[in-house]
Amino acid sequence: MIGVVGAATLFFILWYPNISGLPMPNAIAQAYLGLLPTWNYDFQFAVNLDAAATGELYGLGTLLIAGATATFCLAVMVAARMWRDARAVERTNAALGESGWSQ
């Protein structure tokens, strides 16, 4: 674990010299910029000139979506709890050698 953290720290220091503050020549210090997974400056989107939205933040639609989301989350929680309890009963019955069918 310590080796992994040490390797990550060393990698960070070597590949991000501007952040680490190592004194390096400018050409070397900027060399890693071509390897970073970022967008090129030429790939910028145009400025948005549309007017700002005027709708209300806490309107009826927002409250309906929040209520539906809360209801769905509650239903998933109840279903997961019931499934977990059913699996526990099955495991207990299997450990006791019962088939689970009562007559």
Tens of each residue's pLDDT in the chain, 103 residues: 899 999 988 887 777 666 666 666 666 666 666 666 665 555 566 677 888 878 787 889 889 999 999 999 999 999 999 999 999 888 888 888 765 555 4
Cα(97)–Cα(14) distance, integer angstroms: 61
Domain range summary for the chain, segments of one domain joined by +: 1-39, 57-98
On the CB side of 85, CA atoms within 13 Å amount to 6
